[in-house]
Structure 1
Amino acid sequence: MPEVLILDAVRTAIGKRNGTLARSHANDVLGAVQKAIVDRTGIDPLVVDQVVGGCVQQVGAQSANVARNAWLAMRLPQEVPAATVNSQCGSSQEANMVAHALVGSGLAGVAISCGVEMMSSVPFGAMAVEGKYGMPREGTYAEVYEPTTQFEGAERIASKWAITREQADALGCESQRRAAQAWAEDRFAGQIAPLEVTSYGEDGKPTGTVTFERDECLRPTTMEGLAKLKTNAPDGIHTAGTSSQICDGAGALLLATPERAAALGLKARGRIVDSVLVGCDPELMLEGPIPATDKLLARTGLSMDDIDVFEINEAFASVVLAWQQETGADMTKVNPNGGAIAVGHPLGGSGVILLTRALNELERSGGRYALISMCCGGGLGTGTIIERI
């Protein structure tokens, strides 16, 4: 495939459940990063051939093609088309893969990939299947596969790879420590688009506006504190301290061919080396980063030692720990600025947020390659390798 460049990447700060972004509309939050990437690069938005967005709970405020609605809400040109895809938690990373393919194939010269999830206002499970979030429990699907939830999948992975509660707690504690260090050292500088958000008093009435530009899910964490938490399942290992946080947020990337980048007078920050979407056991469900990593390395000829930064979504601690067992990854390179346990996992927004974080970390650390992967409900895994330019 011809070279596909990353011209810019931006994200919102991530708002905690019922936090600063809780009353913001998905169109406004996603639209803010779409507009930010246009404003930061100075492009005429009409040069964008297509916008591809990811969102999981496509209902209520996130329904009816939220990627398009967000674009129009920002008064951006109606001539630019947009579509919204759903690969569950990997939705915006899949949106980036679609944008990668559009640009690489020549169907588009410039594309924006993006994603959003406002989990405070469109709750996790808003699109529950037959009364329970997870796979369909009636009909032919249930005759072929045992219906499971992400929570059940996480515990089955812990059992299969013999991951203990103490190991999970240690990863959760380290995620919080690294995220706190990243903010203390201002490592996220330049990647966050500030949002002007309405503030509310205790009576629920608007009190003015605040500028939102700092991740707010972080919390002081110790191994002793984690050990006291109740597990999600009676016989499980995961707790609220070792599971990704419910939150709100969005991100966006601007992709282009080298020819279009040159014509626009823009210097690329990186390039996409390869993108994959893989299928895996839908009952175990969350092992997708393992085959996604294997496929990416096999197709590119790169090795684990060639990768300088790994962003493996911390949907649950067992997902990352099982992946590490299978790949032998150096954990000092994995989620170096904390992961979703500390920062949050706004479902359909997380893929492009992780890509943004990875690109910025390569630039900060001087690394060359980053590998980004996510597990997804239904037995899928997304994966991308990017290279800093």
Structure 2
Amino acid sequence: MAGAYDAAVAGGVEMMGLLPMKANRMGKDEKGPRFQTRYPAGLIPQGVSAELIASRFEISRDQLDEYSLRSHLLAQSAITEGSKLQDIIQIENQGRVVQKDEGIRPNSTLEALLSLRPAFYTPEMAERFPEISWCLTAGNSSQISDGAGAALIASEAFAKENGLIVKGYLTSFSVVGDDLIMMLTGVIPATQKLLKRAGLEIKDINLFEVNEAFASVVLAYQKKLDLPLDSLNVSGGAIAYGHPVGASGVRLFAQLIDDLTRRGGGRGVVTMCESGGMANATLVEALGK
């Protein structure tokens, strides 16, 4: 759109099985003295932010686990019913063959999810935030996983000249900074800003793809924007597939474009929360088959 490129490849990779998150920042003061002065109590882990969201949006443990089970069931159904998500390249390493996503658990049950202990509780955070009921677990949070993804983004003229099959159009964008403590709620104002820029309303969007960093993030998004659940993450999300951070953006776009295409085309919104209260949203328009 800036005119700098006719075509570009965007993507990323994350090997969370080998390198822990924030490995490049361990032992360093990445924020600096001015930040420490403004926020003497410091920021909080994302899991605690997810707990605050559940508390302030009045989302129960049952609702979180029911949504998480939905993610696994929809992911399995999407693969079974011909989603592009089944087109996974088989990899062999030291005699072991990987040919499908290993995080999807279609045989999980609500009882099993409800039996998991809170993952982010600490006495310090419980004292700081007495309103938290501690209901975020490994089961209703995104999985730690490895992944890679890449997407070819081109101008319409370049696509036509080179005979490329156009899967969809990226037509509007937004980036916002939201509350640093709540941190993960930025997807809400990012979507509102995006729709305002595009001159659209919620009813004009066919599908929404909201990264499932935590179940509370998606359910708060649904509640605040008053969305029908059947328009949201219709092929499951990171709770089932995993959230290899550098690769998740490509997966979200690929999934949404495929879901729209299989439904005859339409408009979709992709949005992802980020560290420090940042969030982005993109309007996607896809063609039918």
Give the match for residue 268 of structure 2. 370
Secondary structure at 2:184 match in 1:
coil
2:135 matches 1:237: yes
> Deviation per CA, 1:131-169, whole angstroms, max 9, x where unpaired?
79xx84x63212213321111111111121111111111
Give the match for residue 357 of structure 1. 255
Structure 1: runs of 5 or more not aligned: 1-103, 199-205
Secondary structure at 2:166 match in 1:
coil
Aligned residue runs from structure 1 range 192-341, under 5 A: 192-198=87-93, 206-207=94-95, 210=97, 212-219=98-105, 220-234=107-121, 235-341=133-239
In 2: Cα distance, 1:187 partner to 1:143 partner? 50
Task: Give yes or no for contact 2:147–2:247 (8 Å, CA) kept in 1.
Answer: yes
In 1: Cα distance, 2:85 partner to 2:244 partner? 20
In 1: Cα distance, 2:92 partner to 2:267 partner? 35
Give the match for residue 53 of structure 1. none
Secondary structure at 1:236 match in 2:
coil
> Deviation per CA, 1:51-98, whole angstroms, max 9, x where unpaired?
xxxxxxxxxxxxxxxxxxxxxxxxxxxxxxxxxxxxxxxxxxxxxxxx
Give the Å deviation of 1:236. Answer: 1.0
> Deviation per CA, 1:326-347, whole angstroms, max 9, x where unpaired?
1111110111111111111111
Q: If the length of structure 2 is used for normalisation, what is the TM-score?
A: 0.89
Task: Give yes or no for contact 1:309–1:367 (8 Å, CA) kept in 2.
Answer: no
**Distance change (3 Å), C-alpha of 1:275 and 1:233:** same
Aligned residue runs from structure 1 range 1-389, under 5 A: 104-130=1-27, 136=31, 139-145=33-39, 146-188=42-84, 192-198=87-93, 206-207=94-95, 210=97, 212-219=98-105, 220-234=107-121, 235-389=133-287
> Deviation per CA, 1:174-222, whole angstroms, max 9, x where unpaired?
11111121122232257x4514331xxxxxxx33x63x44211011221
Give the Å deviation of 1:374. Answer: 0.7
Give the Å deviation of 1:124. Answer: 2.3
Instruction: Letter of the 2:284 partner, please give it.
Output: I
> Deviation per CA, 1:288-341, whole angstroms, max 9, x where unpaired?
110110011000012111211111011011101111111111110111111111
> Deviation per CA, 1:232-271, whole angstroms, max 9, x where unpaired?
1344111111000000111111111122112212232211
Q: If the length of structure 1 is used for normalisation, what is the TM-score?
A: 0.67
RMSD value, Cα = 1.9
